[in-house]
Structure 1
């Protein structure tokens, strides 16, 4: 214990003599009041996990230690990283990771549950860190960052602002962005040449927007803002039904430019290219299912709504899609699902239609939900109906696929490839994150 205390006492002078590296964009915050205030904005008290990116000299860190159940510090600098490890050696509630924050694999972090992220980000790599940590799917539930003010302005801008652009839309489709405070150069060492600002990002409720193809949205936005002075009709591909039909749907001038359209209008553009012209209806309660008895024998047909309401026994198929690296694709269910919305689930899963067999349903679900077309699947397990399967007789089937996955947004919010060992740890730590049927299927397959 005496040796550990000596290490701590030596680390502070060492960091005080540390010279910030211009090549790494290091500008260390020196103001005590601002540091404490930033820590408070992430609401760390009692949080399961708070992650600080780039703790540097520890100005913010000292206002976080001891407040969450677990604090993880990620420091890339070759001198500061080991010194932080020495300072907090022996503390079970603080972990130091000496690594580049843009290279950390986030998939194992889902087992910790929603985490809170905070940091005074280097100007040089702030954008890369934002993209790495905030691109869905992500375990981040709240992020408080200090960045150069110009970037924060762009992140928070709406179409009435001069800073509004592609970055604004690409971030705001998934996140609510709040500009919290402007910070002058004088509180840093060395002083940057521009003002900084503090922003807070929280996940956008998917129910506040109509469903749309996020990949198509991103592509159209980037095209629309590629040459800001040009009219949008000269930058986007030919619209279904012609440019006039799109303009009429938007209710704007034919000569409109990208920056004049709001997030809602850009989503409307993406939906127009997808030829989505009806309001989101979710799953149809009138869809017909086979109703079965305790021996999985068909005894009749009823609608989806009636089957779920009366908790009648019926049939479903789950499919695990495996790539050549042995990873499993998991989907996060759409908020429109009538059962287990926004829970994580198998690669594809669904009920058997009336008169349909399991193998046929598996091939159909893969095509409908994630755009994978395979001739057949392999039976992996048969699971009896019960509360742990939401009263479904389930067949688990396997498919192999190494190409792209294209999620149908009505069915799936997002998805990712995971290593089986990471799924094991996640299921053990947080079974509540998953649909019941998936947990049962996963345990059956892992046996």
Structure 2
């Protein structure tokens, strides 16, 4: 038996009596055209190791396995164990880990080897997971992730754009980020109330170190926590005008117009004052 012989995703869900859980932010991606397109956009193939978070019924999992990649699927919802095990029974390059992705040790899963992250992320934990992967001790080789369209905008937009904020700064300080696919709500079961988009993230060769990233998170939290205020007000608790001038910025500017390089300069200035 092979992947081609498995029941369709819809048939498998019906056979196991499974449905999406709102509490887990689940929306099943059953459209094979979309899942295969995501697998292509992930640029993975024979011999690559992929960590997939939140596989649910395994639609994207099947598409990734078709590329020849070795897939480790991390799923928190135990209801999917029998269904995913059926896939693993015919796909020796699929490993299953049932755990909370916010707590799992990706470095241990990768076992010291490069690994790509590919996921249709659950809506309610997408942003915390992204921050974990970009600021934690383990760095993926690439990330191809589906988010709500609004979150995708918050990741990819730049200074002066409406959605530009703290998330964009942290992402763009660590990765090259671009939106590569839009997915309408009708591609999901049940359809969410919003459209989604796939973002491709490629970690920069020269990323900020842990201390600099911690400082960046502090200054962006303060600056965007009061984004309509001038920096001299929003950053008062971290050093105010003196800190801003040390970073070579205008104290009267607002956070929404400061480029990523400016926030890194603020992080450096704050570290220098400690």
Shorter-chain-normalised TM-score: which range? 0.7 to 0.9
Distance 1:10 1:243 in 2: 61
SS at match of 1:85: helix
**8 A contact 1:48–1:115 mirrored in 2:** yes
> Which structure: larger Rg?
1
1:262 equivalent to 2:259? Answer yes
Q: Provide the rounded CA distance (Å) in 2 between the counterparts of 1:11 and 1:184.
A: 19
| Structure 1 gap segments, 5+ residues each | 277-405, 407-447
Residue of structure 2 equivalent to 1:272: 269
Post-superposition offset of 1:218: 1.4
Per-residue deviation at 1:10?
Answer: 11
More relative contact order, 1 or 2 (CA 8 Å, 6+ apart) = 2
Q: Residue in 2 aligned with 1:222?
A: 221
SS at match of 2:38: helix
Contact 1:49 1:112 (C-alpha < 8 Å) held by counterparts = no
Q: Deviations over 1:269-310 (max 9, x none)?
A: 22223349xxxxxxxxxxxxxxxxxxxxxxxxxxxxxxxxxx
TM-aligned CA deviation for residue 89 of structure 1: 2.4
Per the TM alignment, residue 131 of structure 1 is displaced from its structure 2 partner at its CA by: 2.7
Q: Is the 8 A contact 1:177 1:201 kept in 2?
A: yes
Structure 2 residue aligned with 1:36: 36
Q: Is the 8 A contact 2:54 2:76 kept in 1?
A: yes
State the distance in 2 between where 1:19 and 1:211 align.
40
In the superposition, relative to structure 1, how do residues 132 and 81 fare at CA in structure 2: closer, same or farther (>3 Å)?
A: farther
Q: Is the 8 A contact 1:15 1:80 kept in 2?
A: no
In the comparison of the two structures, how many residue pairs are matched? 271
Structure 1 position 249, deviation (Å): 5.6
Using a 3 Å threshold, how does the CA distance of structure 1 residues 68 and 134 change in structure 2: closer, same or farther? farther
1:15 equivalent in alignment to 2:13: yes
Do residues 27 (structure 1) and 24 (structure 2) align? no
Aligned partners of 1:247 and 1:10: how far apart in 2? 61
Please give the per-residue CA displacement for 1:397-446, whole angstroms capped at 9, x wherever unaligned: xxxxxxxxx9xxxxxxxxxxxxxxxxxxxxxxxxxxxxxxxxxxxxxxxx
Deviation at 1:223, TM superposition (A): 0.8
* Residues 8, 88 of structure 1: 8 Å contact kept: no
Q: Which has more helix, going by share of residues?
A: 2
Partner Cα separation in structure 2 for residue 66 and residue 31 of structure 1: 15
Structure 2 match to 1:119: 119
Contact 2:149/2:194 (<8 A) preserved: yes
Q: What is the alpha-carbon distance in structure 2 between the residues aligned to residue 71 and residue 80 of structure 1?
A: 16
Query: Structure 1 194/46 Cα, relative in aligned 2: closer, same or farther at 3 Å?
Result: same
After TM superposition, the score normalised by the length of structure 1 is 0.55
Question: TM-score, normalised on structure 2?
Answer: 0.86
Q: How does 1:293-312 map to 2 (within 5 A)?
A: none
- What do the CA deviations read for 1:85-122 (whole angstroms, capped 9, x no partner)? 23312643111222222221223134241101111111
- Mapped partners of 1:118, 1:175: distance in 2: 15
* TM-fit CA distance, 1:147: 0.8
Q: What does residue 241 of structure 2 align with?
A: 243
Give the match for residue 140 of structure 2: 140
Q: Distance in 2 between matches of 1:105 and 1:237?
A: 37
The RMSD of aligned alpha carbons is 3.1
